[in-house]
Amino acid sequence: MKFIGRFVFGLLVVLAGMNIFLFSYVDMTMSYLLKYGNLAVEEDRSDAFFNSTYVYYSENLLINETITGDYDFRLVAFTGSNSSENQLQVRIENKNGLEMPKDYTIRLFLEGDEKKDIPFYDTASKLWKASYIDMKSILKDQKEYKDILDLQIIEFKSVTTDGETEKVETILYDYEGTLLIDNEDMDIIGLSNENTPDMMRLLGYRKGTVHDFFKEFQGILWRNMIIFMIIVGFITWLVFFRKRKPKAQGFVPANNTPIKENLNVRAIEEVKAVDNDENRVTKK
């Protein structure tokens, strides 16, 4: 039983360690994007920076619009591939400070009268927000690529009328075309596996840049791993190595165990015997 317990404990430690590493990897990536994404927006080179974070990306932006009104922002959309996903990146930015409504979202319309609301990631940036959408997992249980027909930016407001509150939608942006992305243009990974970089460039795709986010932000990983190891070490000591005090047990004498007679009891009995003798003499 001890071996099984230790094996299960070791397995849980390995799984937890892997999750800590993945969490740290995402944290390092987002820290890198936050720092250098802000810098790129401020210096008007955000397209070059965000495009370059992909293995391959499309040279032609799907959307490049400046929206003015209650909220001023630049809206950008393009496709790119990383090591495992073909993504549609939707980004809003304003180098003077991005001010957006409290509740807003991306709404995609797909073939087959399907639609999906997708939030922007909270990057903690005051200059830009982005969403990285896996084009094969937009819908639940989606198994193949589907045409994306339209893209909207929707604002939600709660309006109370005659004591009743309802959510009102306002369209901040609506794509003017009838087809945003054809499903045949979505599998960039498959295309890159079949073509050389030179051929990919002729097809309209450029190769990204390797960004060494680990070098600058590796402290995040070491910090998380050290905290994790301290916790694991303490739990290991507590469960397997801490000496437990033996429980106190009452003394139960055996039948043949001689029991020492209480001296006080003997003295009391002797006094009683003397008193009894004196009483007898008095009566006589």
pLDDT exceeds cutoff 70 at 57: yes
SS3 64: strand
Q: List pLDDT tens digits, range 175-209.
A: 999 999 999 999 999 999 999 999 999 999 999 99
Taken in order 196, 200, 206, 210, the sign of the CA dihedral is negative
Rounded to an integer, what is the distance from CA 243 to the centroid of its chain? 38
> Stretch 211-218: mean pLDDT, rounded?
81
Q: List pLDDT tens digits, range 135-178.
A: 999 998 888 999 999 999 999 988 888 888 888 999 999 999 99
> Stretch 78-85: mean pLDDT, rounded?
94
Pairing, β 104-110 against β 148-161: antiparallel
pTM for the structure as a whole: 0.74
| Residue listed under structure tokens 């002729």 | 202
Q: List pLDDT tens digits, range 89-113.
A: 999 999 999 999 889 999 999 999 9
Q: Measure Cα distances from 193 to 126, 132, 135, 182 in Å.
A: 38, 22, 18, 20
Q: What are the structure tokens assigned to 268, written together?
A: 């009391």
pLDDT exceeds cutoff 90 at 219: no
Q: What are the structure tokens assigned to 234, written together?
A: 């303490």
CA distance 40 to 56: 19
- Residue 221 amino acid letter: L
